[in-house]
Amino acid sequence: MEPSARRPLKVRDTVLAQRIAQRLSRTSLTPNRISLLSVVFALCTAWCFWLVQADPARTLWLLAAALFIQLRLLCNLFDGMVAVEGGKHTPAGELYNDMPDRVADVLILVAAGYACPLPWGVELGWGAAVLAVMTAYVRTLSASIGAPVDFRGPMAKQQRMAALTLACLCGTVEGFLSGTPLYSLTLALGVIVSGSVLTLVRRTLAAWHFLEER
């Protein structure tokens, strides 16, 4: 994998991340299994949101959801590091690197929509999920035509998950104070949808400019 084809992450260069990746590389754990593990954490996140949807008073499940979202992101970090820095990449690694991400995005964002208290929260969740897949599709399509791999935001994967994690933390506080903890999720999904539309437009225009200039 070329360096330009990897999502730029400052945390990848930290000493702690490098040490963890080295230890994982010495185990029997493969990058592909780490990628699949991210879907397991996404399922756990969705289950937490479902529990909150069934009983909005269960605000502590939002804290668990925030934790599982971050564990999913850690899998996304270390699968690439183990594959590249650890030298354990496989011919099918690109499939494992990308497809579980799309499944995880849909599971998390749709479940968050169902946990929203407003009638149109479900539509927000599905809209955010569709747009997340679309932004990834445009990135992949751009790379297939020879354009530089485009990870620009404002709502790339890390930003989407950061917004949702913050919403989970705020929703927990909101629940303790008012008994209705989920308006934070609704706001976060609205931000994700609007930001993803802008991301989609920016990436599409970048691909168009590349083709026109070539």
Domains and CATH numbers, the chain: 9-213 (1.20.120.1760)
CB atoms within 10 A of CB 46: 22
* DSSP code at position 162: H
Model-level pTM? Answer: 0.92
pLDDT tens digits for range 108-123: 999 999 998 888 899 9
CB atoms within 10 A of CB 196: 26
- Please say whether the beta carbons of 48 and 108 come within 8 A: no
pLDDT for residue 100: 93
**What is the helix (H) or strand (E) element at residue 98, kind and residue range?**
helix 93-115
pLDDT for residue 3: 47
**CA–CA dist 1, 94 (Å, integer):** 9
Which phi-psi region, left, alpha or beta, contains residue 191 (left: φ > 0; alpha: ψ -120 to 50)? alpha
> Token pair for residue 33?
């299994």
| 13, amino acid identity | D
Peptide bond into 154 cis (omega under 30): yes
pLDDT for residue 5: 65
pLDDT for residue 55: 80
CB atoms within 10 A of CB 98: 13
202 by DSSP, 3-state: which? helix
**CA–CA dist 115, 185 (Å, integer):** 8
Given CA atoms 138, 140, 145, 147 in this order, what sign does their dihedral have?
A: positive
The segments of the chain whose pLDDT lies below 70 read 1-6, 179-181
- Please say whether the beta carbons of 183 and 121 come within 8 A: no
